[in-house]
Amino acid sequence: MKTNTQSNTAFRGFGGPQGAFAIEYIIDNIARELGKDPQQVRKLNFYDNDFRNTTPYGQLVEDNVIHELVAELEQSSDYYARRDAVMEFNRDNPVLRRGLALTPVKFGISFNVVHFNQAGALVHVYTDGSVLVNHGGTEMGQGLHTKVSQVVALELGIGLARVRATANDTSKVANTSATAASTGSDLNGKAAQDAARQIRNRLAEFVADKFGAAPDEVCFADDVVSCAGTEMSFTELVVEAYENRVQLWSDGFYKTPGLNWDRDRMQGSPFYYFAYGAAVSEVVVDTLTGEFRLLRADILHDAGNSINPAIDIGQVEGAYIQGMGWLTSEELCWDERGRLTTHAPSTYKIPTVADCPVSFHTRLYQNPNARDTIMRSKAVGEPPLLLPFSVFFAIRDAIASLAGNRINPPLRAPATPEAILDAIDAVRAGVA
């Protein structure tokens, strides 16, 4: 049966991940034309801190750590030594070819529709010392409830086990923005913090009045409230506050400051901050079958002062593997009647555990956010989806080695075995 294939081709668009991918493709081409390691050309095109630090849409790039982050990853991954090892391997192996690539990420965080950048939350403290939080974000397995609960627990000085988050509901928090643009923790965490802080301040005033002290002398920590040399459990305080008619619930609200965007002129400052990252990927390609295997991945990602490193590392690794599938195996095909033929796991190939590298090194870059985000953290959602660009360009690097890295392989995405074989044939024929 004849089929028509639509791929995520290299130059399908210049917005979002596709646009970033297109530019990386161009840089890869330029480097090979100049006979240089693509890493050298990428570094020459990084934003600077003192000049050449304004985006095409007019936003100043502040807190730029891409130079330091990439330098650290180059060292920790032994990038240059492995580059030499890959070249040596390829000299001795005519069928199996290895490739190596390092690609960076700079990702703006915020909705570019300014009014979406707001969130609300409700926090209730009960007389048994438990806390209920409801916010406008949707938990979809990314750990949002856990992070928001951590924020509330920290604000009230209590253990995380005391805090429970419930599913978002517009009958509780109205007019919620979508849980998208990697803003879930930023927006809802700040709103929940605002609500919890109001309750803590009321409790602090109550304790201060009781002991003749100032509210800022009251300390909330480890489920204990202390003031003027006296301590009581958080639960004891809550019961006493309730009996004295202190309000034990509050609503919170947050809106991201400093954003502006002119849709007509495509100018402004649509992002509150940028998240950075980089990944090194090493692959081996079978030039007879077009199959490849990811041998090793080294990732260094900027999550700011991470609220929960375990969740963030999981998000980074998950996004990396998801993005690898997008760029290497997830191909959409239709038949001549327009029916989707890649509609099931048997035909639409998503990555599995077998596609993960045996050697997988992921670290979070230590870089507290210069902006006043929740706990000075940074978003970890969409940014690491761009890290597996390095997988695609490592495959391209392996194919290019067949012609001494003098020809740019016309590799399309997704880099399926068919696409890889087409690129191999073109390189061997001397076609760029």
DSSP strand E in 163-223: where?
163-166, 219-221
Catalytic site includes residue 330: no
- The values of phi and psi at residue 99, to 5°, are -140, 155
Catalytic site residue from 231, 243, 382, 418 = 382
Among the listed residues 357, 421, 379, the one whose alpha carbon sits nearest the alpha carbon of residue 100: 357
User: CA-based angle 294:16:413, to the nearest 5?
Assistant: 40
Among the listed residues 236, 233, 247, 327, the one whose alpha carbon sits nearest the alpha carbon of residue 279: 327
User: CA-based angle 409:326:277, to the nearest 5?
Assistant: 85
First to last CA, the chain: 30
Question: Strand pairing partners for 286?
Answer: 96
The CB-side HSE value for 187 (13 A sphere, CA atoms) comes to: 26
* Gap between the Cα atoms of 429 and 411, Å rounded: 14
* Gap between the Cα atoms of 106 and 225, Å rounded: 43
* Gap between the Cα atoms of 235 and 24, Å rounded: 56
| Catalytic positions, written as ranges | 382
